[in-house]
Amino acid sequence: MMYCSVCGAKTEFRVPADDNRPRHLCNQCNTIHYENPKIICGCLVTYQDKVLLCKRAIEPRSGLWTLPAGFMENGETAGEGALRETYEEAYARPQLGELYALTSIPYISQVYMIFRAELDAPEFGPGPESLEVELFAADEIPWDRLAFQTVTRTLEHWIEDQKTGHFPLHTIDIQERIQARV
Amino acid sequence: MMYCSVCGAKTEFRVPADDNRPRHLCNQCNTIHYENPKIICGCLVTYQDKVLLCKRAIEPRSGLWTLPAGFMENGETAGEGALRETYEEAYARPQLGELYALTSIPYISQVYMIFRAELDAPEFGPGPESLEVELFAADEIPWDRLAFQTVTRTLEHWIEDQKTGHFPLHTIDIQERIQARV
């Protein structure tokens, strides 16, 4: 941020009074421009014993597989956002379940909220941001072609939890960027 | 947003190509300025069978009681943010537990993430944004002096769950603003 979005003056990056970290400040209109983490919401969609993955048509990680998810929008609930993204990316309309994976990625200031969701019928297809959408059994997951660490971690939990039939919330913190596997 | 924070030109509010909702756009440098929900993270801190509440020293709802919570900052995990806010507002350093209440408030584009947390000893006190910090038993909660609907809803769940000793995640959507009770 170089300019104040309220008045157009140049901003300064310093610690405001009564604060403990630097912010983008406008010395003309005195606005403090806070920047905060963004929420990515989506679904771990299942049909019978398979999970729905989308092959990304867009960067980053175009061509790799992911869970349907995207930035939560203003004016929606987390669950509404998760279902909206699932429809936009996979043309799927599952029944929303509970929050399943809460992943913090502090080095990019993102929080993933992935809900479980169940399809009544195997009806889905690629939205504009997907090349393909497919159901995968546990032993079919393309581990070396997954787009993001959070997808890998969430699917690892799902595979373990399938064995017990108990799917508790998993809180995941990803502290280090790793090289893409492909 | 009236001005582009990247280049200082006036912005326009319209639907970008390949999008489905209006955004603040810069016609000079072509930046799309997305606005997304903010996360408020905090803790439902308990000591034995009591819960820790803070009387707010700041607006909004100054003088009313709340759970220690505040805006999550870039560069931290949700749990780190919850503990940071708990220390800043209540000078308390509890052991962090599981996510307990996930509250979406779409009309103000906020998502509350409240974690359970347990104190080893009753050590706490008011931080700069609090007038008082106190432990309340279930039958002592000042229901008509609580600051926010999300606090009321979260405490109602806690009271019910105390009866069973089982504290599952509660997903709460607050769709309507209600009048402050005081």
Over residues A107-165, the pLDDT tens digits come to: 999 999 999 999 999 999 999 999 999 999 999 999 999 999 999 999 999 999 999 99
For residue A181, being part of any structural domain is answered with no
- Enumerate the residues of chain A whose CB falls inside 8 A of the CB of residue B35: 74
Q: How far apart are CA A6 and CA B78, in angstroms?
A: 29
Identify whether residues A89 and A27 lie together within a single domain: no
Examine the domain organization and report whether A20 and A42 are in the same domain.
Answer: no
**CB nearest B5 (choices: A2, A73, A104):** A2
Nearest C-alpha in A relative to B34: A73
Contact A99 B169 (CB under 8 A): yes
Beta bridge partners of A135: A52
Asked whether residue A76 falls in the same domain as residue A165, the answer is yes
Do A73 and B36 lie within an 8 Å CB cutoff?
Answer: yes
For chain B, the domain total comes to 2
Per-residue tokens: B139: 């039958």
Least CB–CB distance from B3: residue in A8, A37, A171: A8
Q: What is the pLDDT of residue A177?
A: 81
Q: By C-alpha distance, which of B25, B107, B41 is closest to A74?
A: B107
Residue A26 and residue A4 share a domain: yes
Position A182 confidence tier, pLDDT thresholds 50, 70, 90: very low
What pLDDT was estimated at residue B182? 45
CATH number for the domain harbouring residue B25: 2.20.70.10
Is the confidence at residue A181, as pLDDT, over 60?
no
Range of the domain at A149: 38-173
B54 and B1 fall within a common domain: no
Closest CA to A110 of A16, A36, A33, A169: A36
Residue B47 and residue B31 in one domain: no
- What are phi and psi for residue A82, nearest 5 degrees? -65, -40
Which pTM value belongs to this model? 0.95
Contacts of A2 in chain B (CB under 8 A): 5-8
Same domain, B98 and B28: no
Number of H helices, E strands in chain B: 2, 11
pLDDT tens for each residue of chain B, 182 residues long = 999 999 999 999 999 998 989 999 999 999 999 999 999 999 999 999 999 999 999 999 999 999 999 999 999 999 999 999 999 999 999 999 999 999 999 999 999 999 999 999 999 999 999 999 999 999 999 999 999 999 999 999 999 999 999 999 999 999 988 765 54
> Testing the interface with B: which of A2, A4, A5 to mutate, by most B Cβ within 10 A?
A5
Integer Cα distance of A166 and B102 in angstroms? 20
Is residue A26 domain-shared with residue A49, that is, in the same domain? Answer: no
pLDDT digits (tens, 9 = 90+) for B67-97: 999 999 999 999 999 999 999 999 999 999 9
CA-closest candidate to residue B99, choices B137, B144, B175, B154: B154
**Residue A179, domain member (yes or no):** no
Rounded distance, CA A85 to CA A71, Å? 8
Q: How many CB pairs under 8 A join A and B?
A: 122
How far is Cα A69 from Cα A89, in angstroms, rounded to an integer? 8
Instruction: Using only the alpha carbons of chain B, give its radius of gyration.
Output: 19
Indicate if B134 and B64 belong to the same structural domain: yes
Whether A142 has its CB under 8 Å from any CB of chain B: the answer is no
Q: What is the CATH number of the domain that holds A156?
A: 3.90.79.10
Residues B20 and B52 in one domain: no
Residues of chain A positioned with their CB less than 8 A from the CB of B128: 18
Q: Is residue A182 part of a domain?
A: no
Distance of CA B150 to the CA centre of its chain: 8
Q: Quick check: is B112 in a domain? A: yes
Q: Which residues of B127-154 are buried (b: 16+ CB within 10 A; e: fewer)?
A: bebbeebbbeeeeebeeeebbbbbbbbb
Residues A60 and A21 in one domain: no
Asked whether residue B181 is assigned to any structural domain, the reply reads no
- Smallest Cβ–Cβ distance between A36 and the set B4, B34, B74 belongs to B74
Which ipTM was obtained for this model? 0.94
Residue A29 sits in the same domain as residue A44: no
* B143 touching chain A per CB within 8 A: no
Name residue, tokens 């200082």. Answer: B8
Any CB–CB contact under 8 A between B176 and chain A?
A: no
* A6 part of contact set with chain B, CB < 8 Å: yes
Round the CA-based radius of gyration of chain A to a whole number and report it: 19
Domain-located, residue B55: yes
A interface mutation test: which of B77, B87, B172 has the most A CBs within 10 A?
B77
